[in-house]
Every structure is written in C-alpha cells, then in structure tokens.
Amino acid sequence: MVQTVYFITHANVQIDPSVPITQWGLSATGKARHAEFNQTASNLNITAIFSSAEQKAIDGAASLSEFVDIEYNAIQALHDNDRSATGYLPPPEFEKTADAFFEHPNESIRGWEKAIDAQKRVVDATNAILANNNTKGNVAMVAHGAVGALLLCHLSNVPITRKMDQPGSGGGNYFAFSSDTKTVLHGWKSITL
C-alpha cells in the first residue's frame, strides 16, 4: 500500500549545557510550534507515529499523538547524529563542526558519529519502520534535522551535503516522501506558517 511519510524535525529546544543533549526537551516556543502544526497534521491522514527516543523528539511526537489520538512508538535508531564526544557546543562552534560533518561524511569530526554511518542508520530504521507498519494511512516520523538531511540526501539520490539540511535555525520543519517508490513528494517546509 502506498503511503505518504512525513519526516518532521523537532522544533526549538530548551538548551541547558549542564544536561545531556539527548535529554533536552522542547522550549515553550517549540511546544507552541508543534501545537500549531497539529492543525495541519489533522488533515494528513496520519495513522502511525514514530519518534526518536531523544526527549525533544518525544515531546513533538507526544503533542501530535495526543492531538490525533494515536500512540507513538519511540525508535532508538532514529536518534540524531551522535555528538556525545563534544556535548554542547556554542552556536558558532556547532555550526562550524556541523559543516565539517557534512563535508567529510566518511570521517569522524571531533569524535562525532560519521555522517555516512548516521545516514545508513536512519535509512535502515526508516525501511524497517515502513516494512513493519500495518496501518492504512500515512506515517509521521518525528526526529532531528541532521539525520533528516541525511535521509533526504539518500531519497534524492545525491551525495551527502548540508545543502539538504533544514532551513532556518531552531528546527521544526518537515518533508514528505512516498513509502513505495521512496520518491520525495516535497522538500522542507516549516511546521508553522
């Protein structure tokens, strides 16, 4: 059965350098943006929701889950690129390191997970989710910008590049693709108008 898959990135987070990145939750702005997106999502015929196991993605998935009254499933393999080697980096340093992550996909930048490995992980997780999903409607996957960009590169059959990264800063974007042909139906759109 052909389904549309919506890959949604978590919106703005509550940054706390003293807390592991994987445990950061959505900020008030991030929560409000996801609540606004729920109005759009109510027209997308979503019958299955999957989430990264990181708190910020869980917060976004839980908001959608409650609104459309469908339980979400947390999938460990949907986590963002593993940046635990550096932990929190100030924005300018983070951007510089993220640029290198995409520019040198076969290398570990500052101990980060290699982009090529993160891409394989998210592609494999997506394929497993779709192979095991028995619902008849569309699928929402709530995860992260970096792995979303890597998945979008794969689906678009282009080399890993940051040009496929989500627009703006703060997250909260989504793209759509067909479950059977893996054809991209539309690129990144903001979850809020």
d(CA 137, CA 119): 26
Q: Tell me the per-residue pLDDT of 85-142, one tens digit each, with 9 for 90 and over.
A: 999 999 999 999 999 999 999 999 999 999 999 999 999 999 999 999 999 999 999 9
Q: Please report whether residue 1 resides in a domain.
A: no
Is the Cα torsion angle 130, 125, 62, 26 positive or negative in sign? negative
- What pLDDT does 190 receive? 97
User: Locate tokens 């993605």: which residue?
Assistant: 57
Residue numbers of the domain that contains 45: 6-190
Q: Please report whether residue 80 resides in a domain.
A: yes
d(CA 106, CA 92): 23
d(CA 23, CA 14): 10
- What pLDDT does 193 receive? 74
Q: Are 176 and 5 in contact (CB under 8 A)?
A: yes
Q: Please report whether residue 120 resides in a domain.
A: yes
- What pLDDT does 61 receive? 98
Bridge partners (DSSP) of residue 139 are: 5, 48
d(CA 9, CA 144): 5
| Domain of residue 183, CATH code | 3.40.50.1240
Q: What residues have CB less than 8 Å from 184, skipping those under 6 apart?
A: 152, 155, 156, 175, 176, 177
Q: Where are the alpha helices (DSSP H) in the chain?
A: 28-41, 55-68, 91-103, 115-132, 145-155
Q: Please report whether residue 29 resides in a domain.
A: yes
| Section 133-160 average pLDDT | 97
Q: Please report whether residue 158 resides in a domain.
A: yes
Count of residues in the chain = 193
Domain count, the chain: 1
At position 143, the amino acid (one-letter code) is A
* φ, ψ dihedrals at 138, nearest 5°: -90, 165
Q: Please report whether residue 186 resides in a domain.
A: yes
pTM of the full predicted structure? Answer: 0.97
- What pLDDT does 67 receive? 97
- What pLDDT does 85 receive? 96
Q: Tell me the per-residue pLDDT of 53-76, one tens digit each, with 9 for 90 and over.
A: 999 999 999 999 999 999 999 999
Residue 169 banded pLDDT, cuts 50, 70, 90: confident
